[in-house]
Structure 1
């Protein structure tokens, strides 16, 4: 398609939107169906819908045509099974010309009942504290979306925003099980608070003792101090995993956006993890120069990477742990943590992401670490995976989407999970 064709398409879209702006509607359902039909028309797709996202699900408010596959007005989807989750996380349009080659959404295709090959979604500027509405169009065939299509859909989203208060909304009352889970979450927070205080005291005391030049001279005490210190750190990690695991289960975990410099963050994590490093191991960093800033929750990204690095340190008896950070071919920020440890049995390759599962008995814990990593990465709009060769080592990787660093998106802005 040449520039002349693009210009002709742009003119057609502008004329269609101009015509729509002059129309008068006295019925909200008729108005919404018209807007959705025009969304399909101007983007060249077959289906358009309005969905409300909360922490755990997406509620379909309206769809055109009336039903597509398993989608219909009033139906509900798990949040992690939707393309729209990335629109919520980034607060930016999501453009997918071919889902089969786009790593941001590629893994979703196995779980979707409705065939989606191309997708274009934008946020509707009518969000509340609990819900984020999105307008999206999709097609079972590959599609080439242009900035013209994105601009047209954003304009339609602004027009639809005026009708959102009149459109049928999902029920907001939480079922009893959710209230029960909230009680469990509150109990865990209280327990964690009471445990963390003495742990912080123990950690500080042990750090002071290890810095005392006289005490390490005592061979017996000098060998016990590092073990005691690492045990305290291990208990703190277990408490954190327990609290975060419960928060993720109940949908109460919140996020804050920051501007993150990975070239600074990753060395910080390595410095902490190196305290547990065996003398037979070393950590090697490969951070790409001019790496773009990441817009995400700094504490959670720190937690994700630290969890992967500390796992590699615990499981690697000898050799090298390599940490890479770079922009991959799919315009995502990618972090690899590769080790020369025992590797993972292929039979365990999927189970390790489940709660209360460990691929080995070498390390002790709740078995929540990788399950939390996966849940956090997905909530932050990324993907996570692993490759491994038994007896040679493993490589765990995570990706995060680029987000344009606009003032409205960065630095201590509340963010739902």
Structure 2
């Protein structure tokens, strides 16, 4: 409770009632402010802000930035002025995040309040987003930084995410879960969000960026929006929050560059062997090579963008404890042995995520115990690439026996009948 009170005080001071101390400025004390005197214009803006004259304060901050867009204190004051103009209350945002009877208060919020918060947050973001873009590219004076506002920014975006989900009858607090020492994101639960899905992914990416700017203070926010976070220690929550943030940023960037990438996160996979090793949707999007073929997350990427392990930066997102079954997944025979969804296809060889991390072994049990690749390194990659591109069943270039001899792995389980079915759903 003390921690939440501390957060509320911090957030309220940062965005609601507090102002930057006057000692940060160099006012001219002149009654006639020169239109190019940015120190005086900014100072005057804070005087009006202190007097709750938010429209006037906003005008002075905007005049400052029109002269010099590097003045971070003017950006900060402008954001606070807009926030107060919109009558947004940080205390209430945190209050709505609290769960009661198994759901957050966002779910019982009336529509008018929800619309008020959504439009208000969008208005504030029109100021904060360009400020953050400037700050993170070194185009401000650095007196106020993204880190300064990261906790409040996180509150705003988590509230926006909650409202986006609320409109689809989904509770934000159910999006996150704690498993061991990790915070997982249930991307599959977002598959029915519809037209708001891209905006939601972008919002989650913004949350991840804010958390990465100041992980320590951001964890205090997470405790409010993720009920199970109470199970983690302060240091454990910081580590888990950083990992979760990296995962959300990665997902957002993927979706921003290609909207089809949403399917890679919200569905189990495309049920197609994308890399030519004969295994169908064997990977999960956890940032590791689970099947030991040297490729990372290959079959779970619907855009077929293959990533080689040697070129991949392990960001350890989520550190999922096991592969969660989902709609359709139970019908996928990953290894081609004729038994869909057997235990070996959805269980890690090392059950504990920390043990996997320590050993550097994130493979799925089926590929640890059941498969031998016929080649290694570049030779295997080349053979798989040839097999993956051989998609016309009426003109097969590389028959099953060739695949068994040059690739091995899952191909060893195929019959000729199963081999012909491999071509279904592929572009010729």
TM over 0.5: no
Please tell me whether Structure 1 or Structure 2 has the larger radius of gyration of its CA atoms: 2
> Normalising to structure 1: TM-score of the pair?
0.25
- Which one has a larger percent strand, Structure 1 or Structure 2? 1
TM-score by length of 2: 0.25
